[in-house]
Amino acid sequence: MATTRQFCTFRVADLFLGIAVEHVQEVLRYQQMTRVPLAPTFVAGLINLRGQIVTALDLRHRLRLPARPVEQLPMNVVLRDRDNAVSLLVDRIGDVMEVDGDLHEPVPSTVSDDMKALFAGAYKLPNQLLLVLDDERLLNDGESAKPTDCLLAG
């Protein structure tokens, strides 16, 4: 019997993306953000989530995609990163999908080598390709500072 995996899915530009559902704390509508001076460029700002300060990462910028149209407000996929919560700004929220583990494939060769590290793999679904983000690398690799380093006492 094949194992299945569950993913919280969402869209960013033309990409259909997912992240393991066990890493997702919650999904929220747009939240007002406070910019963080000198933060890595993919850090969009900080949001207040019921009294907890949460770093918001712009996935469009992190994945080197064109900027979101100004009139389109992002949605938040809040991940739990050990002791911190981090929000991923996405264009549209999808569903929680259960996917057959046998459908797992490597990241397609059309993804640039420097971006491949941000993905854990892909799943060919009947009408689309689901690219699964590697949350650990997404949150901690790339530019010089980790997103959670923006939570400096000040």
The residue ranges of every structural domain in the chain are 4-146
36, 23 contact by CB (below 8 A): no
What architecture is domain 4-146?
A: Beta Barrel (2.40)
pLDDT, residue 143, reads 46
For residue 112, the model assigns a pLDDT of 85
Residue 117 has φ and ψ, to the nearest 5°, of -65, -20
Given a contact cutoff of 8 angstroms between Cβ atoms, the answer to whether 119 and 12 are in contact is no
30-85 pLDDT per residue, tens: 999 999 999 988 999 999 999 999 999 999 999 999 999 989 999 999 998 677 88
User: For position 87, what pLDDT does the model report?
Assistant: 95
Give pLDDT tens digits for 89-145. Answer: 999 999 999 999 888 999 988 888 888 889 999 999 988 999 999 988 887 755 434
